[in-house]
Structure 1
Amino acid sequence: MRILFVAALVAFLAACTAKTDDAPPVIVPKGPGEQAQTLAPEDVGTDRWTAPNEADLTYVVSMIGHHRQALEMSALAPERAQNETVKALASRIHDTQGPEIGAMEQWQRQYGEKAPAHGHSGKMPDVDHASMPGMATGEQLDALKNARGADFDRLFLQLMIAHHEGALKMALDLLKAGVDPRVQEMANDVLVSQQDEIDTMRSIKIG
């Protein structure tokens, strides 16, 4: 379901970028209970379009960096992990968060760079990725790279649970402050999928 959502999102965004003379209208989702807005393709990015706000833009930039660290950590597991469940979980994280990064980058190209409203400059916000919730420090990543076997498994679970919990906080904050329905869908997917993975990681027993 998670991969299907990402694939559908990428397909939707790609369709919105099509530039043809007979391109169909762009349907812009609105908030819950609100009627969707229909725009001509050339109107996306103009004052007729309800732009993402700063919270949406910052969330996407932040979550791309957050996901990239999860990929870095999970890529270490095949050669270092001992527990097969840890290996399978790391593979799942790697295989799902990579496409999610692609979907968020596509959203940036289609919508984030066309957001002059709300005082936004049109540039992506600067984010201090090291200060984001749940991010492992350089020292912790070095320790993970140097660990093997059960020691790796224990440290991986410790760091990845904290990492996922940080992602949940970021997603909840976005849902309180963001306005873009596409970004809200991304955040809701994070809440569901990463809480499920946290539950799985907490159930793993390392001998």
Structure 2
Amino acid sequence: MTGTRSLIRRAALGTAAVTTAVVLTACGSDDGSSDSGSAAKESASASTEATAEAHNDQDVSFAQGMIPHHQQAIQTARMAESRASSSEVKDLAARIEEAQDPEIKTMSGWLKAWGEDVPSSMPGMDHGDSDASGMPGMMDTEGMDELMDASGKGFDSMFLTMMVEHHQGAVEMATTEKEEGRYGPAKKLAADIITTQNAEIEEMNKLLGKS
């Protein structure tokens, strides 16, 4: 009888010990998860702040300037669909539009994320302002009107001449961004613009018989 009581008592003590261990483990787990969750939240917050601060005024100027610059290039390229006589000019114009339209969307996204103004339209886009010439390579209202009135080989020559200058302006703007910008993706886009548009300048000069 005494032996039986002793066995029961040992079993009860063993069960209590296991229960206590489980409770302590659970508490330790809860505390760890809480600490881990807080650390993750703090890390995410720090990352967001770092991203928000990873640009400078030059990055903003680059995006706000290059968007209307690209818009004019696209507007000009679209004229080639019905006015150009050369298949090479039409092909080049299509590639310009295909490359620059997504870049406008990308830069607009950056500006929104930074809380900066996104240019809604190009200066002089609707022929209401000649201030478009304020940025390197931008065509003024008079030049755009002349291009719109041209067709055939005359359009081809004028388009290529004006677009060479327009591309040179974009390369100048992109070079400044590459040298003075801070935001990695913007500097990468600037480098891509320099490479792509320099190649297109060479192509257009060949079509003009200049090289």
Aligned to 2:67: 64
- Write out per-residue CA displacement over residues 22-74 of structure 1, whole angstroms, 9 at most, x where no aligned residue: 9xx8xxxxxxxxxxxx951x445537853311000000110001000001100
State how far apart, in whole Å, the 2-side matches of 1:187 and 1:154 are: 28
**Across the two proteins, how many residue pairs are aligned to each other?**
160
Give TM-score, length-normalised by structure 1: 0.70
> Which of 150, 165, 170 matches 2:168?
165
Q: How many Å apart are 1:176 and its aligned residue?
A: 1.8
Aligned to 1:143: 146
> Which of 105, 108, 113 matches 1:105?
108
State how far apart, in whole Å, the 1-side matches of 2:137 and 2:81 are: 23
Structure number with bigger Rg: 2
Q: How many Å apart are 1:107 and its aligned residue?
A: 1.7
In structure 2, stretches of 5+ residues that fail to align are 1-36, 124-130
- Native 8 Å contact 1:144 1:155 kept in 2: yes
**Percentage of pairs with the same residue:** 33
Larger helix proportion of the pair: 2
Aligned to 1:134: 137
- Native 8 Å contact 2:108 2:118 kept in 1: no
Aligned to 2:192: 189
Distance 1:49 1:95, change over 3 A: closer
- Native 8 Å contact 2:59 2:186 kept in 1: yes
RMSD: 2.6
Corresponding letter in the other structure for 1:143: E
Give TM-score, length-normalised by structure 2: 0.69
> Which of 178, 182, 185 matches 2:181?
178
The answer to whether the aligner puts 1:199 opposite 2:182 as a matched pair is: no
State how far apart, in whole Å, the 2-side matches of 1:39 and 1:78 are: 51
- Write out per-residue CA displacement over residues 3-32 of structure 1, whole angstroms, 9 at most, x where no aligned residue: xxxxxxxxxxxxxxxxxxx9xx8xxxxxxx
Q: How many Å apart are 1:175 and its aligned residue?
A: 1.6
In structure 1, stretches of 5+ residues that fail to align are 1-21, 26-37, 114-122
The answer to whether the aligner puts 1:87 opposite 2:90 as a matched pair is: yes
State how far apart, in whole Å, the 1-side matches of 2:72 and 2:46 are: 36
Instruction: Choose between structure 1 and 2 for higher RCO, CA contacts under 8 A separated by at least 6 residues.
Output: 1
Distance 1:173 1:47, change over 3 A: closer
- Counterpart of 1:62 in 2: which secondary structure? helix
- Write out per-residue CA displacement over residues 157-203 of structure 1, whole angstroms, 9 at most, x where no aligned residue: 01100000000100111122111111100100100000111011011
State how far apart, in whole Å, the 2-side matches of 1:98 and 1:48 are: 25
- Write out per-residue CA displacement over residues 56-113 of structure 1, whole angstroms, 9 at most, x where no aligned residue: 0000110001000001100100100001100100010011111111111122223x22
- Write out per-residue CA displacement over residues 115-161 of structure 1, whole angstroms, 9 at most, x where no aligned residue: xxxxxxxx449996530000001000000000010000000001100
Corresponding letter in the other structure for 1:78: E
- Native 8 Å contact 1:57 1:124 kept in 2: no
- Native 8 Å contact 2:174 2:193 kept in 1: yes
> Which of 150, 155, 160 matches 1:152?
155
